[in-house]
Amino acid sequence: MPEQKLPHLLVSGFTWEAPYQSPNNGGGRRPSIPRARVAHGTKLLRQLRRLVRELPDIVSLREDHDLPAHAGIAVALEIKPKGALDFQGIEWKKDRIEVLSVIEHPDSEIVVLHVPDGHIGALERRIQAYLEKNAKSGKPQNLALVNAIENIRRAAFDDFWTDEDPPPEDLDESWFQVWLRADGKRGDVVRHAFEELGERLGLEVQRGFVTFPGRVVVAVRATRQAIQQAVELLDMVAEIRGVADTAKFFLSELRPYEQNDWVGSLVERSVYARSSRRNRITLLDTGVNNGHPLLAAGLAEDDMHAYDPTWGAADHDGHGSEMAGLLLYGNLTSPLAGNEPVNLTHRLESVKILPPDGENPPRIYGAITAESAYRVEATAPQARRVFAMMTTAEGGINGEPSEWSATIDQLAYGLPTLEIGVDDQDDRGEATPRLYVLAAGNVAWPDWASYPAINALAPAENPSQAWNALAVGATTNLTEIDAAEYPGQRAIARRGALAPASRTAMLWKKEWPHKPDVVAEGGNGSLDAAANVTVGPESLRMLTTSNNIARTLLAETGDTSAATAEVARLCAQLSHKYPDFWPETIRALVVHGARYTPAMRSSLRVQPTTQDKYTLLRTYGFGLIQPDVSAFSEAYRSTVVLQETITPYREVNGSARLGQMLLHELPWPGEELQDLAETEVSLRVTLSYFIEPNPSRRGWQSKFRYGSFGLRFALKGATETDQEFVERVNALERDDDDERAHGDPDLQGWTFGPKLRTKGSVHLDVWTGTAAELASKGQIAVFPVGGWWKDWKEAGQWDTEVRYSLVLSLEVAEQLDADFYTPIKTQIDAATVAQQIEVDDGAEEE
How does 511-543 read in b/e, with b if 16+ C-beta sit within 10 Å?
Answer: ebbbbbbbbbbbbbbbbeeeeebbebbbbbbbb
* Omega cis (within 30) before 81: yes
- φ, ψ of residue 412 in degrees (nearest 5): -65, -40
List C-alpha distances in Å: 271 to 173, 338, 439, 569.
31, 14, 29, 16
Closest CA to 440 of 475, 411, 465, 413: 465
Strand pairing report for 384-389 and 435-439 = parallel
Q: How are beta strands 237-242 and 279-285 bridged, if at all?
A: unpaired
**Calpha distance 242→358 (Å, rounded):** 45
**Identity at 379, one-letter amino acid code:** T
CB 740 within 8 A of CB 754: yes
Is the domain defined by 248-418+433-614 classed in CATH 3.20.20.70?
no
Residue ranges per structural domain of the chain: 9-27+634-837, 37-155, 173-242, 248-418+433-614
Nearest to 808 by CA among 680, 638, 590: 638
Per-residue pLDDT tens over the stretch 450-507: 999 999 999 999 899 999 999 999 999 999 999 888 999 999 999 999 999 999 999 9
490-491 vs 542-545, strand pairing mode: unpaired
Best CATH choice for the domain 37-155 from the list 1.10.3470, 2.60.40, 3.40.35, 3.30.70: 3.30.70
pTM of the model: 0.74
Q: What is the CATH number assigned to the segment(s) 173-242? A: 3.30.70.80
Amino acid at residue number 754? P
b (16+ CB within 10 A) / e for 64-78: eeebeeebbbbbbbb
470: Cβ–Cβ under 8 A, 6 or more apart, which residues? 435, 436, 437, 438, 517, 518, 567, 571, 587, 590, 591
Q: Torsion over CA of 793, 796, 800 and 805, rounded to 10 degrees?
A: -60
User: Angle, to 10 degrees, between the axis of helix 121-132 and the axis of helix 37-64?
Assistant: 170
**What is residue 475's three-state secondary structure?**
strand
Task: Point out the residues of the chain with pLDDT beneath 70.
Answer: 1-3, 18-28, 88, 164, 207-213, 243-258, 275-276, 358-364, 395-396, 417-428, 536, 696-704, 731-743, 833-846
Among the listed residues 524, 547, 51, 39, the one whose alpha carbon sits nearest the alpha carbon of residue 290 = 547
Residue 697 buriedness (CB in 10 A; 0-12 / 13-18 / 19+): exposed
CA torsion sign for 589, 590, 591, 597 is positive
Residue (of 809, 510, 799, 460) closest to 638 by Cα position: 809
Domains 37-155 and 173-242 fall in the same CATH topology: yes
Q: What is the pLDDT of residue 362?
A: 43
Q: What is the pLDDT of residue 733?
A: 46
The percent helix, strand, coil of the chain (3-state, each to 5) is 35, 25, 45
Q: Where are the beta strands (DSSP E) in 269-370?
A: 270-271, 279-285, 304-306, 342-343, 347-352
> What is the reported pLDDT for 786?
86
Query: What pLDDT, on a 0 to 100 scale, did the predictor assign at position 395?
Result: 61
With a CB cutoff of 8 Å and minimum separation 6, the contacts of 693 are 401, 406, 409, 410, 413, 467, 706, 707, 708
Distance CA 231, CA 242 (A): 15
Please, what is the angle between helix 224-233 and helix 37-64, to 10°?
110
The length of the chain, given as a count of residues: 846
Q: Give the span between the Cα atoms of 371 and 393, in whole angstroms.
A: 18
- Count other Cβ atoms within 10 Å, centred on residue 86: 13
Distance CA 584, CA 806 (A): 9
pLDDT, residue 546, reads 94
